[in-house]
Amino acid sequence: MRFYKWFAVSLVFVVQIISGCGGGGGGSAVGSPPVISDTTAPIVNSFTMPVTSVSMTVTISSFSATDAIGVTGYLITESSTVPAASEIGWAASAPTSFTFSSIGTKTAYAWAKDAAGNVSNGLPATTIITLVDTIAPTVSSFELSSPSVSLTVPISSLTAADNVGVTGYLVNETSTAPVVSASGWSASAPSSFTFTSAGTKTAYAWAKDAAGNVSNSRSASTAITLPTTKTSTLKFYSQSTNQSELLGGFLLSVILPVGSLLPVDSSGVPLFSAVFLSGQFTGASPQINTYDSVSRKLTVNFASSNDYRLGEFMTVIMTVPFSYVPNPSDITTSFGAWSPSGVGPLDTVTATFTFN
C-alpha cells in the first residue's frame, strides 16, 4: 500500500491598476488618495463668567467649542481682535479662569482653533471686578527733629506704602489706633506736629487706605525745651486827614505791657537795638529817650528841621513772657507832632501801631 502527501499552496495575486490612454502601452502610475482641505473655523458655543468678582482672576463658568474635524486650541483675551493661530497663550483644553489687567467693568473674548489653523469668531463675556482690600498700609519711616525749642516740631521723614494706595496720614500723641473717620487725617504727609506740652515727647504716625484699613503705628521721640521769654515788636505810624502833611518832630509816650522788659545801658537808657527811629526817620536819633522799668513807661522825643513824610517812624523791640500773646489793648500811648519849622503842633496828625 502506498501513501501520498498533499500540500496546500496559497497563491497571492497582486493586481495593479494601470491608467492610460487607449489600449496600447504607455506610461503608468500608482493611484494616490484624494487630499481633503479644511477651511471651516471652529465655533465657540458657550463662554460665561460670574457677573461680579472680587478678584482680578475670574473663574470661567463655561467655555465650549466645536469644529468639523476637531478643536485643538482655546484662548481668552481682553481684545476683540482675532488672534493668530500661532499666538502665545493657546491651550489644548478650555481654561477654567482668566486674569484681567485691571478692575472695573471688564469684557473677555473666547476663541477656538483647529489643526488647519482656522480661528473662530470671538464670543464675549462681561464681569464687574471690585477688589476687596483687607491689607493695611505700612508706615515705613517717621522721624522728628530733636531737640526742639517749640511745641511745633518739624517732621524730618514720614513715608508709607500700601498694596493699592495710601489715602491718609495722621500723627498724634497716642499709641491707640485712630478710626478712619477721626479728625486730623490729611491726604499728604504732614511736615510738622504740634505737641500739647514740653518735655521728652513721643508721637505716633499712622496711614490709611481707601478701604478703611489703618496701619500699625511708627513712633518717634523728641526733647522739647521751651524758652521762658520771647520778643515782641511795636511799630508806630503817623497818619493825618491830610496825608501831604510833613513832620518835623514828635513826642511819644508808651506804657508797655505787664511783664515786658527793655534792655537798657548803665544809665537806664534803652539800647538802640531795642528802641530806634525807623521808616521815614531811619538813621535819625531822638533827643530824649527814657524808660522807667517800674511803670514800664517809654518816652521818646525827636525834633528836626528836616521834612518827614507821614508813615512808619519808630520801632520798639521788647522781651515778654513766652506764653504772652500780644494784645494791643495792653499798650497805652500818648502822641504829639509838630511841623518842620517848629512853629506849632500838628493837631491833625495821630499815631497808630502794630503789635506782634
Out of 224, 242, 271, a domain closes at 224
Would you say 325 and 295 are in contact if contact means Cβ atoms under 8 Å apart?
A: no
Are 259 and 320 a contacting pair, CB within 8 Å? Answer: yes
Does residue 1 surpass a pLDDT of 60?
no
pTM greater than the 0.75 cutoff: no
Same structural domain, 156 and 171: yes
Q: What is the DSSP letter of 261?
A: B
Residue where a domain terminates, one of 129, 149, 164 = 129
Q: Is the pLDDT reported for residue 7 higher than 50?
A: no
> What pLDDT band is residue 131 in, cutting at 50, 70 and 90?
confident
Q: Examine the domain organization and report whether 174 and 105 are in the same domain.
A: no
| Residues 172 and 90 grouped into a single domain | no
Query: Looking at residue 316, which CATH number applies to its domain?
Result: 2.60.40.680
Nearest to 355 by CA among 323, 332, 322, 337: 332
Burial grade of 164 (CB within 10 A; 0-12, 13-18, 19 or more): middle
Predicted confidence band of residue 241 (pLDDT cuts 50, 70, 90): confident
Q: Assess if residue 50 is contained within a domain.
A: yes
We report the CATH number of the domain holding residue 107 as: 2.60.40.10
**Residue 144 maps to a domain:** yes
**Residue 342 banded pLDDT, cuts 50, 70, 90:** low
* Pair (339, 236) in one structural domain: yes
d(CA 140, CA 68): 60
Is residue 124, in this structure, part of any structural domain at all?
Answer: yes
108: domain range?
A: 43-129
Last residue of a domain, one of 66, 95, 129: 129
Q: Is residue 276 part of a domain?
A: yes
